[in-house]
Amino acid sequence: MIVLSVDPSASKTGYVVADVLEEKVDLLEYGTINLKGKKNHLEILYRELEEKIKNFQVDTVLLETPFYSINAQTLIKLGEVRGVVILLTQIYKLKLFQYTPAEVKISVTGYGRSSKEEVINMVNRLFDLNLDDSDIADALAILYCHTLKRIEV
């Protein structure tokens, strides 16, 4: 199964494309899509993710659910970004799995209110990487959470 894991953000969206077989995960590509300050940020996101879906023949998308935010504008922008991702899953008839931030953090660190640094450190250990980007680390954490959930089933 080829999975696209997305950490949605209106400024910089992290993503990971991986081949997931049973307990084995092969990372095919990971990175960020910089959207900050771009007028057509939703179109850029759509085209970048569509390219990943087509190039890697993705069949499953993983997405973090929104968290509570005091800033309504931030929540609205996040909703727009999530809408682009969900639209792509519907257009390409992909499976969609969504996980809460707490679920993701618990699966990676064992604590649902872990700091960004703790998530980055654990993701680096789990995937034998040396990342310092929290957006990529979050997309990897979502992927790890999904993998654990599949094993539990």
Average pLDDT over the chain reads 92
Tell me, what's the pLDDT at 74? Answer: 79
Give which of 152, 144, 151 is closest to 18, Cα–Cα.
144
Taking the model in full, what pTM does it have?
A: 0.93
More confident residue, 67 or 76: 76
Confidence of residue 63 (pLDDT cuts 50, 70, 90): very high
Summarised one tens digit per residue, pLDDT across range 98-127 is 999 999 999 999 998 899 999 999 999 999
* Alpha-helical regions (H) of 6-131: 41-56, 72-91, 101-109, 116-127
Tokens of 97: 């799995």
Share above pLDDT 70 across residues of the chain, in percent, rounded to a whole number:
95
Tell me, what's the pLDDT at 151? Answer: 60
pLDDT at 152 over 60: no
pLDDT at 153 over 50: no
Tokens of 39: 């007028």
Topology adopted by domain 2-152:
Nucleotidyltransferase; domain 5 (3.30.420)
Tell me, what's the pLDDT at 22? Answer: 75
Annotated active-site positions, please?
7, 64, 135
Q: What is the DSSP letter of 130?
A: -
More confident residue, 148 or 71: 148
Tell me, what's the pLDDT at 45? Answer: 97
